[in-house]
Amino acid sequence: MGKVIGIDLGTTNSVVAYMDRREPRVIINEEGGRVTPSVVGFSKTGERFVGEIAKRQMLINPDATIHSVKRFMGKRYREAARDIPLVNYEVAENRNGDAAVKVSGRLYSPQELSAMILQKLKSSAEDFLGEPVTEAIITVPAHFNDRQRQATKDAGTIAGLNVLRIINEPTAAALAYVHDRRKNATIAVYDFGGGTFDISIVHIDREVGEVRSTRGNNALGGADLDRLLVDWLAEQFKEEHSIDVSADKIVRQRLRDAAERAKIELSTAMETEIHLPFLVADASGPRHLQVRLSRAMFETLAAPLFQQTITECRQVMEESKLSPADIDEVVMVGGSSRIPRVKELVKEFFNRPLNHAFNPDEVVAIGAAIQAGVLEGEVKSVTLLDVTNLSLGIEVEGRRFAKLIPKNTTIPAQKVQLVSTVVDNQRAVKIHVLQGESALATENVSLGEFELVGLDPAARGVPRIEVKFAIDASGIVNVSARDGRGLQNQVTIRAPTGLSKLEIEEARSEAQAHEDRREAAAETKDLRFAVEKQIVALETFLREHKAVLHRQDSSEAEQALKRGRMALAKSTDKTNLEDTSNYLKRFAAHLLDKMGGVQLS
C-alpha cells in the first residue's frame, strides 16, 4: 500500500498532508503553496485550471470560475436557495433534483467539481512524494449529513481515490491535539471556516479522544461575513452615486474580493480603506468607490453572525451536560477564527485562554494525516471515538419523525427495526429515512425513500422484515433488510438519491481521461522545451564558433536547426518532437566529437 494522504477539502481552501514516519507534514503544491484555493476555472477555450491560477481569473470570468462548491455538495436544488446568492456562477437543477453548476451550457455536479480539486491535490501529493497515491482520508464539517458525506466520498472515487474514511473537521483538529499533547483534558474545538461553523467538545483520556457532542451550521462562514460587507459597500456606493450595482456580477465579484481583503486586514488593523477605481461608468463618466471601514463598523455589521456561533457553543455545552468551567482548552480552527472579536467572544464564553499552538489553516489536514497514519498502522497510540452529529430515523404516521439513532451516539452505531405490511398481500414496503432533530418529518433532511420489494404474499402485519440502520465510522448511513425467514437477499433496497454507481463510474472515466490528456500535454510541453533548449544551444554554438567551423558542418547544423524548428511548428506531434530531440542530441554529440571536445551549452 502506498502513502495514505489526509485531505482537508475546504470551502475556500484545501490542504493535503501525510505522515512522514511519525510526524504529520503538509504537502507543498506545484505552485509552491501549502494551501490550494478550492477553485475550478474554465477558460473560454474549455481548458480547466484548479487552485491559484483558477482563482486569478475569478474577476474577469466569474461565470466560469467555480468557488465554494462545497456549499452545494449533496444538496437538493431547492435546499440551495440560501447559498446561490453567495456565488456568481449559475446554479441549476440536475436531473436527479440535486443542485448542479452550469458552465457554458454543461451541467457539472458538485461531486465532479470537487473531484477536479481532489485530482489536483492528488497529483500535487504524487509529485511531492514521488509515488502514486490512491488512498485518502477526507474531512468534512461535523454537521454534514449523510448525503453530503456520500457526495464527498463519491467525489474522491471520481478523482481516482479510494476514500478510506470520512472524518469530521473538528475531530481531525482534536486528533492533532491528542497526537501533540498526549494529556488528559476536555477541549472545545471552535471551527469557523470559509463556509461552515462547527463546535465540538472532546474528552481526552491519554491517547483516547472521545467526542462528547458536536453542533454546527453548514451555512455560516467567512463567505457570509464577506456578503455582509459587499451589501454594505454597495449601499455606500449607492448613497454617493445613486447607482445600484447589486445586480452586476463583475462588480459584485470585485466588491467581494475587496470585502474579503478588508475583512482580513481588519484582523490586524483598526481601519482600512477600500478603493475600487472605475467600478462602473455612466454617461457622466467613470465612478470610483472609495470608503473607509473601521474594525468597529465591521464588528457591528457582523455581530449577529458572531453571536450565532456563541449560541451554538451554549447549546453544545447543554447537550454535553458540561459547563464552560469543565473545558480545559479551546482549540481555534479555520481562517475566520483569526478575527479578534471572535477570539474575544469565545474567550469570554469559555473563560479560558485560547490555544493558538496550531495553524488554523492546517490543523484539520494534519489531523486527517494522523488518522491516515492510524489506519496505515504507523501511528499506534491515538484513537478517536466520534459521534453522529444528527439523529437518524424514519417517517411514521402523521408525517412525524421517529428517531432510531439519536444524535451524539458514538459511531459506528446500528439499530434494528421491525417493519411489516399494512394491507393483505402487500409486496413492497417504503421506508422514508431522514436525518435531523425536528419532530416533524418534513423539517428534517430526507436521505431517500428506501423501497423493500419482493415480499411474499401474506396477510397484513404477518411479514416481519428486519431493517438494519447502521452508521459507519465515516458517519455514512447504510440500510439493509432481511425478511423473517432470515433471507438477506429476499429484499432489495432502492435509494434514489445522489449519483448512481453508473454516473460515478462515467465521471471517473472522464476524470481519468482528462488526467491522461493533462499528462500527455505536460509531456509534450517538456519535449518542446527540450527541443527549444537544444536549438538555442546549437545556435549559440554556431555563432561562437563560426570562424573555425567547416562549411559542411555549418550547413549540416543549419539543416538540424531547420528540422528542430519544424518539429516545434507542429507543436502537438509528440513522436516527432521526441525523434527530433534525440536527433539533435546525436547531432550535437557528433559535432562536438569533430570539434574535439568543445562545450555545447
- The least distance separating ligand AMP from the CB of residue 222, rounded to whole angstroms, comes to 2
Q: Which position among 6, 41, 216, 334 is part of the footprint of ligand AMP (CB under 6 A)?
A: 334
Amino acid identity for residue 521 in this structure: A
Q: Interface with ligand AMP by CB under 6 A: which range of 248-256, 330-338, 369-377, 584-592?
A: 330-338
How many angstroms separate the CA atoms of 556 and 418, rounded? 87
Neighbours of 529 (CB within 10 A): 12
463 binds ligand AMP (CB under 6 A): no
Burial per residue of 470-498, b for 16 or more beta-carbon CB atoms within 10 angstroms, e otherwise:
bbeebbbbebebbbeeeeeebbeeebebb
> What secondary structure letter does DSSP report for 426?
-
Query: Which 164-193 residues touch ligand AMP, going by CB under 6 A?
Result: 193
Q: What are 21's three cell numbers?
A: 514516519
Task: Using alpha carbons, select from 120, 152, 128, 123 the residue that is nearest to residue 139.
Answer: 152
Contact of 166 with 476, CB cutoff 8 Å: yes
In contact, 435 and 145? CB cutoff 8 Å: yes
Looking only at residues 48 through 87 of this chain, which bind ligand AMP when binding is defined by CB under 6 A? none
Q: Is the CB of 51 or the CB of 193 nearer to ligand AMP?
A: 193
Which helix (H) or strand (E) segment holds residue 435: the answer is strand 428-435
CB of 118 to ligand AMP, least distance (A): 16
| Residue 534 interacts with ligand AMP (CB under 6 A): yes or no | no
- Which H helix or E strand runs over 348? helix 340-350
**Segment 266-295, which members bind ligand AMP (CB under 6 A)?**
267
User: Residues with catalytic annotation?
Assistant: 8, 70, 169, 191
Among residues 334 and 393, whose Cβ is nearest to ligand AMP? 334
Name the minimum Å distance from CB 174 to ligand AMP: 16
Closest CA to 4 of 167, 174, 204, 187: 167
Please say which residue, 193 or 448, places its beta carbon nearer to ligand AMP: 193
Q: How far, CA to CA in Å, does 447 sit from each of 108, 408, 442, 469, 478?
A: 21, 19, 12, 12, 11
Q: Which window, 104-112, 258-266, 558-566, 574-582, contacts ligand AMP (CB under 6 A)?
A: 258-266
Please choose, out of 281-289, 293-301, 303-311, 328-336, the segment that lies near ligand AMP by the rule CB under 6 A. Answer: 328-336
Q: Using N-to-C axis directions, what is the helix angle for 501-544 and 110-129, rounded to 10°?
A: 50
Closest CA to 252 of 58, 115, 94: 58
Q: Is residue 448 part of the contact set for ligand AMP (CB under 6 A)?
A: no
Query: Near ligand AMP by CB under 6 A, which window of 5-13, 204-212, 453-461, 503-511?
Result: 5-13
Closest contact distance (angstroms) between CB of 219 and ligand AMP is 13
Burial per residue of 332-345, b for 16 or more beta-carbon CB atoms within 10 angstroms, e otherwise: bbbbbbbbebbbeb
335 binds ligand AMP (CB under 6 A): yes
Q: Which is nearer to ligand AMP, 298 or 587 (CB)?
A: 298
**How far apart are CB 60 and ligand AMP at their closest, in Å?**
21
128 or 197: CB nearest ligand AMP: 197
Among residues 267 and 383, whose Cβ is nearest to ligand AMP?
Answer: 267
Q: Which of 136, 151, 174, 339 binds ligand AMP (CB under 6 A)?
A: 339
Can you tell me the distance from the alpha carbon of 199 to that of 192, in angstroms, rounded to the nearest whole number? 8
The least distance separating ligand AMP from the CB of residue 337, rounded to whole angstroms, comes to 8
Judged by CB under 6 A, does residue 264 bind ligand AMP? Answer: yes
**Contact window for ligand AMP (CB under 6 A) among 87-95, 115-123, 261-269, 415-423:** 261-269
Task: Count other C-beta atoms under 10 Å from residue 594's C-beta.
Answer: 12
Per-residue binding string, ligand AMP, 214-233, x by CB under 6 A, is: --------xx----------
Does 194 interact with ligand AMP (rule: CB under 6 A)? yes
For the chain, the first-to-last Cα distance in angstroms comes to 43
Longest Cα–Cα distance of the chain, Å, equals: 106
Amino acid at 528: R
Q: Which of 148, 253, 336, 446 binds ligand AMP (CB under 6 A)?
A: 336
Q: Closer to ligand AMP at the Cβ: 10 or 463?
A: 10
User: Of the ranges 10-18, 179-187, 199-207, 439-447, which one interacts with ligand AMP (CB under 6 A)?
Assistant: 10-18
Residue 245, all three cell numbers = 450595482
Looking at the Cβ atoms of 338 and 347, the one nearer to ligand AMP is 338
Amino acid in the structure at residue 142 = A
Residue 211 in the binding site for ligand AMP (CB under 6 A): no
Is 37 one of the binding residues for ligand AMP (CB under 6 A)? no
- Size of residue set near ligand AMP by CB under 6 A: 18
Q: Smaller CB distance to ligand AMP: residue 230 or 499?
A: 230
Q: Which is nearer to ligand AMP, 317 or 339 (CB)?
A: 339
Site residues for ligand AMP, window 343-402 (CB under 6 A)?
Answer: 361
Residue/partner pairs of 258-263 with CB below 8 Å, 24 or more apart: 258/233, 258/289, 259/226, 259/227, 259/229, 259/230, 259/233, 260/222, 260/226, 260/229, 262/229, 262/293, 262/298, 263/222, 263/225, 263/226, 263/229, 263/298, 263/339
Residue 260 binds ligand AMP (CB under 6 A): yes
- Binding segment toward ligand AMP, per CB under 6 A, in 9-17, 106-114, 302-310, 576-584: 9-17
Minimum distance of ligand AMP from residue 255's CB (angstroms): 14
CB 263 within 8 A of CB 318: no
Could you tell me if 189 and 331 are in contact, meaning their C-beta atoms sit under 8 angstroms apart? yes
Nearer to ligand AMP, 146 or 260 (CB): 260
Residues interacting with ligand AMP, by CB under 6 A? 10-13, 193-194, 222-223, 260, 263-264, 267, 334-336, 338-339, 361
